[in-house]
Structure 1
């Protein structure tokens, strides 16, 4: 029977899990979703008390009411939809963007309106779970910038990530940003204490991520300046060589960073793209 299941792998062909799909499967310990799943229905995993962690693919756009309600051992949830759940302006400019890192509206649309403390707890996908932190993966653009850096630069950034409480580095090189999952006050809404909010308390997550963004930009600018120095040195070796033969290309995004740093991005961008 379904209630005897211990592990479930949801295939690529499944785009929706229906209401109560695996409800009260008390022996279920592991669920592996595939990219392509879009909806996890209401109370789909309600009462699966052996679940301890959950990774939700980026393709999921909706977690139904109480989808994981009453999963009393579920302490870790990772949402892979960082491209949608995090403000992309922040990932480009950090605290200078004037916006927080969490896209609260997009998060509410996925995990239910119970994400706001004023709403009914039963609308939250994780009501009754002992979650203290919700983790969201950053879009691949940031790890890709790290991968383009020399090894010693990457190690420096990874070491800094390990030292920041609100960031985690996964084995595949991705970065998770962590947000507090706060239980509402006891007695709120007819005595319920299962009401939650997801918050960046004191902007701690934003501050941590801003540090990493600055460090990546620093190493990119440093490496690009070395390339420029090499190009100048190369051109000075053979004075009679044509200037075109002495050029050394500066890779993106270092090129854009230099232009942005100098305030020339909007003015010279067409020339950069046509290089």
Structure 2
């Protein structure tokens, strides 16, 4: 499916046994009723532009995982129609929905030195429900609770609610660890920049020690603000401005 697609119609891929994997473009805003119903060999579903399905406070501020990673309302809004029909009903091999989180992980890692970036990638490979693709894209995996349709009885074989959930907040815990590790390396790199700025600064030896201040050069201030991600809403104090 190509970027630019906005709607996948109802029953578009119903009972399509040839379908094994599907990537939903970031531009899709609606999945029609039972769009992928009965795709017996479908085992992988990837949602791009994961930012719209996640709790932004969790991603941006690193709040505790107990507050939840999923924006359940936004995710249900695309996976269910107005009658609560699940777009992926009766897909027995589909055990999880994978949501792209590269906006929260990969983009921040590009600013880290190579050795720091490698250590984060190794950590990701060892975490539950976080998947690293060969192209560098990072996915958060959320289990599917899916009822199997009983054709003979005309109803469902159990009473579990269909949907996608972060059971035991396992995905949130894993992503929280990744974000903490990235933040640690970012802080460490920022401290190095500050130390370099202080090292290059000069202290007037004639002044009393209590009155000494180490001026950080204006270019260094701007670089620190930009590196830490504060440039968009904070302005460094520029000497003489």
Tell me the TM-score normalised to structure 1 length.
Answer: 0.72
SS at match of 2:63: helix
Q: Is the 8 A contact 2:144 2:165 kept in 1?
A: yes
Unmatched 5+ stretches in structure 1? 1-32, 258-268
| 1:176 counterpart = 2:117 | no
Count of residue correspondences: 224
Aligned position for 1:196? 162
Aligned position for 1:207? 173
Aligned position for 2:89? 127
Q: Is the 8 A contact 1:134 1:178 kept in 2?
A: yes
Tell me how far 1:255 sits from its aligned partner. Answer: 5.8
SS at match of 2:98: strand
Q: Per-residue CA shift, 1:239-264, capped at 9, x if unaligned?
A: 8xx9576852315242649xxxxxxx
Q: Distance in 2 between matches of 1:107 and 1:204?
A: 18
Unmatched 5+ stretches in structure 2? 206-213
Say if 1:94 and 1:270 are closer, same or farther in 2 by CA, change over 3 A: closer
Among 25, 29, 36, the residue aligned to 2:4:
36
Tell me how far 1:144 sits from its aligned partner. Answer: 1.2
Aligned position for 2:19? 51
Tell me the TM-score normalised to structure 2 length.
Answer: 0.81
Q: Indicate the structure with greater helix content.
A: 1
Bigger RCO (CA 8 Å, 6+ sep): 2
| Structure 1 residue ranges, 4+ long, deviating more than 6 angstroms after superposition | none
Among 199, 203, 209, the residue aligned to 1:233:
199
SS at match of 1:95: coil
Q: Is the 8 A contact 1:134 1:198 kept in 2?
A: yes
**RMSD of aligned C-alpha atoms?**
3.1
Tell me how far 1:237 sits from its aligned partner. Answer: 9.3
Say if 1:247 and 1:79 are closer, same or farther in 2 by CA, change over 3 A: closer
